[in-house]
Amino acid sequence: MGEETERFAGNFTQQEPIPEEGIERAVEIMRSGRLHRYNLVGEEEGEVSALEREFAAYMGMDYCLAVASGGYALACALRAVGVQPGDRVLTNAFTLAPVPGAIASVGAVPVFVGVTEGLVIDLDDLEAKSDMADVLMLSHMRGHICDMDRLKVICGVNGIRIIEDCAHTMGARWRGRLSGSDGLVGCFSTQTYKHMNSGEGGLLVTNDAEVAAKAVMLSGSYMLYGRHGAAPGAEVFEAIKYDTPNVSGRMDHLRAAILRPQLKAMPAKCAEWNARYARVEAGLKGTPGLTLVKRPEEEDYVASSFQFLLLDWSDEAIADVIARCLARGVELKWFGGAEPAGFTSRYDSWRYVQAERMPASDRVLRGILDMRLPLTFSLEDCDTLARIIRAEVGAVFQRA
Ligand SMILES: *Cc1c(COP(=O)(O)O)cnc(C)c1O
C-alpha cells in the first residue's frame, strides 16, 4: 500500500481490560450479594471506604468521597460549598457539557470565561470577571492546566473559591502539585473514557472538614458516615447533619473493587499515555497550517487525548480534513462544529445559559480538533495517526 492510501485500523473507543485482580474481587462481591457501600459485615472496611482511603493518600489530601459520577461530584461540591439557586459560578467556555450542567443542576448560573490558544482558561478574562461570582468551577479540559500559581493569586485576591474539574487530569501536576489539590475541592470522573475506568463513577477530595462532611451527607450516607474511609470526625457531622439534604449519589462496592487495582497502576499508565502523545506530537511537528498546543514547563500532563488547532481555517476546509481523515480510519472531534455532536459541544450550544460572545475564544474553539489516544494503541499506531493527519491537513491546506 502506498503512503497516501495508508489506513488506520485501531478503535478509538477501545480501552484496556479491567485488571484481573479487580475482576476477581468484583465476582466475589457479586457472589456475596453485598454491593451497597453500607452493606458490610461487622467491622469490615468495605471496598468503597478502602478506595476513599487510598485515593486520599494518593492525592495527599485529608478527605475523599466516592460517588456515582464525575458530574455528581461537581454538583455535590457546589452544594457542599454553599452555592445557592440564582448564584453565579464562573467556569470555562471550553469544557464538556456536564460542567455547566452541574452548575445548572443546583439552580446556579454559569458565567463563561474564555479560552487561550494553549487551551486553558484565559486568566485575563477571569480577572476581568472576578467580581461576578465567588466560586470558580475550573475545568482542566482535555488535561490542559493553566498557570495555577497566577490563578490562585487572582482567586485569592478576589475571594473566589475554586472547585477543580479534574476529569482529564487525574495524575497530572502543576509545578509538582497534583491536579485537584490546589482548590477547595477537587472532582474526578472514573467514567470509561477517563484515567480510571469503572463505567461510571466519581471521586471528590478536599482538606476542608466541613465541606467533606456536607459532601458525605449529600451523597446519601444517612447517619452511617462513621463507616467512611477518609471522612472527618463525628463532631464535624454533628454540626451539619440535620441541615444537609440527602441527594443520593453513592458509589457501590463493585465499582470501587475494579478501581482499586487501577489506582495502583496509574503512575505507569500516565507514562504510557505520554509516550503516545509524544509520538503524535513529533509526527505532526512542522505541518503547514497546523498549530500544536504549547505545553508549559511547569505542567506535568497526562495526555489521554491529543488536540491541535487549525486556526483561521474555513469551516469547509476543517470539515474536509475531518472527512478525509475519517475515510482513512482516523476519528477527529471538532469542538468548533456549529451543531453539538457526540461528546463535543460549544458554549453557545448550551442555550439555557445567556452567554455573551467571546470573539477571541470563538476563534480558538472553531479551530480545535481532538483525538482520543486509548492505551490499546501502540506507539507505531501513533506514528501512523500522525502520518495520516499530516498528509490530509497538508492536502487541504495546499489546495486552499
Ligand atoms: C467526563 C467529564 C465530566 C463528567 O464526568 P462523568 O463521570 O461523565 O459525569 C466532567 N468534566 C469533563 C471535562 C469531562 O470530560
* Any domain includes 318: yes
**Long-range contacts from 197-200, C-beta under 8 angstroms, 24+ separation:** 197/15, 197/16, 197/18, 197/258, 197/262, 198/255, 198/256, 198/258, 198/259, 199/255, 200/68, 200/69, 200/255
Residues 293 and 316 reside in one and the same domain? yes
* Any domain includes 14: no
Residues 113 and 127 reside in one and the same domain? yes
Name which residue sits closest to atom 2 of ligand 1, judged by CA.
167
Average model confidence (pLDDT) for the chain? 96
Residues 333 and 258 reside in one and the same domain? no
Cell numbers 497516501 correspond to: 4
Separation of CA 242 and ligand 1 centre (Å): 31
CATH of the domain at 383: 3.90.1150.10
Residues 51 and 188 reside in one and the same domain? yes
Last residue of a domain, one of 213, 244, 264: 264
Asked whether the beta carbons of 28 and 21 are under 8 A apart, the reply is no
Residues 227 and 275 reside in one and the same domain? no
Would you state the pLDDT for residue 199? 98
Pocket test for ligand 1, best of 74, 189, 305 (most atoms within 8 A of CB): 189
Q: Can you tell me the mean pLDDT for 202-208?
A: 98
Last residue of a domain, one of 207, 232, 264: 264
Determine the Cα angle at 33 with ends 27 and 35, to 5°. Answer: 80
Could you report the per-residue pLDDT of 92-146, keeping only the tens digit for each?
999 999 999 999 999 999 999 999 999 999 999 999 999 999 999 999 999 999 9
Could you report the per-residue pLDDT of 378-396, keeping only the tens digit for each?
999 999 999 999 999 999 9
Separation of CA 70 and ligand 1 centre (Å): 5
3 state DSSP class of 10: coil
Pocket test for ligand 1, best of 99, 251, 372 (most atoms within 8 A of CB): 99
pLDDT confidence bin for 72, thresholds 50/70/90: very high
pLDDT at 235 over 70: yes
Last residue of a domain, one of 264, 296, 328: 264
Residues 215 and 270 reside in one and the same domain? no
Q: Can you tell me the mean pLDDT for 322-331?
A: 98
* Any domain includes 11: no
pLDDT at 274 over 60: yes
Name which residue sits closest to atom 1 of ligand 1, judged by CA.
167
* Any domain includes 1: no
Q: Can you tell me the mean pLDDT for 206-210?
A: 98
Residues 151 and 287 reside in one and the same domain? no
Residues 204 and 276 reside in one and the same domain? no
CATH of the domain at 123: 3.40.640.10
Phi, psi of 26 (to 5 degrees): -65, -40
Separation of CA 43 and ligand 1 centre (Å): 34
Protein residues with CB under 6 Å of any ligand 1 atom = 69-71, 95-96, 98-99, 139, 141, 165, 167-168, 189, 191, 202
Residues 45 and 188 reside in one and the same domain? yes
* Any domain includes 339: yes
Separation of CA 74 and ligand 1 centre (Å): 9
Could you report the per-residue pLDDT of 278-304, keeping only the tens digit for each?
999 999 999 999 999 999 999 999 999
* Any domain includes 42: yes
Rounded to two decimals, the pTM is: 0.97
For residue 321, the tally of other CB atoms under 10 A from its CB is 24
Separation of CA 91 and ligand 1 centre (Å): 14
* Any domain includes 175: yes
Separation of CA 71 and ligand 1 centre (Å): 6
Residues 360 and 245 reside in one and the same domain? no
Residues 257 and 280 reside in one and the same domain? no
Domain carrying residue 271: 266-399
pLDDT confidence bin for 237, thresholds 50/70/90: very high
pLDDT confidence bin for 1, thresholds 50/70/90: very low
Number of domains the chain contains = 2
Residues 229 and 306 reside in one and the same domain? no
* Any domain includes 157: yes
Percent of the chain with pLDDT over 70: 99
